Amino acid sequence: MKEANFLCSLACNKEGANVNSNNVGVISRIGGLIRLLAIVLLLCCTFTMVQAQEIKFVEIVASKTYDDGTQITYFTVTEMPTGQNEIDFIKEYTIDKMDISRLVIFPGKTRCMIDGAEKVDIPEVVSMMNEAAALWRKQNDRASNN
């Protein structure tokens, strides 16, 4: 109560201002609303930064080409999304758009494997993964706004 009286006196710009319980209640609610607003803004900023991370190609770890014109390539990436639904969407979208039959994203989500045509370029695969992640975010932002 002492703190509320002090805050009320500051708000009234008078020392020893007459404080009643209505003033204290209003000040308490305003302080609570300000704290809530600050938390919401912080969460929104954090969510936006996490969502906007880009998958970046690091290096090819191993690659093997077969007589039938296919290859299996292991490669590493950074900043892979963490949600399983998003990862599944990225895999399906990339397989649909590229000449690959399988895309595996290993636990830990920094190592991947593709099984596809020999001509498949890994940086292009990573670019397609980013396109899929952006589409996923766009669809889910739209769904959450409705």
Q: How many residues are recorded in the chain? A: 146
Residue 20 is predicted with a pLDDT of 60
So what's the pLDDT on residue 73? 97
Amino acid, res. 101: S
Residue 21: predicted pLDDT: 60
Q: CB under 8 Å to 55, separation ≥6 — which residues? A: 77, 78, 79, 80, 81, 126, 129, 130, 133
DSSP 5-62: HHHHHHHHT-TT----HHHHHHHHHHHHHHHHHHHHHHHHHHHHHHHTPPPEEEEEEE
Query: CATH classification of 53-145 is 3.30.1360, yes or no?
Result: yes
pLDDT in tens, the chain (146 residues): 555 555 555 555 555 555 566 666 666 777 776 776 567 656 554 444 445 578 999 999 999 999 999 999 999 999 888 889 999 999 999 999 999 999 999 988 899 999 999 999 999 999 999 999 999 999 988 766 65
The reported pTM is 0.61
Which of 15, 55, 39 is CA-nearest to residue 137? Answer: 55
CB neighbour class for 75 (10 Å; exposed up to 12, middle 13-18, buried from 19): buried
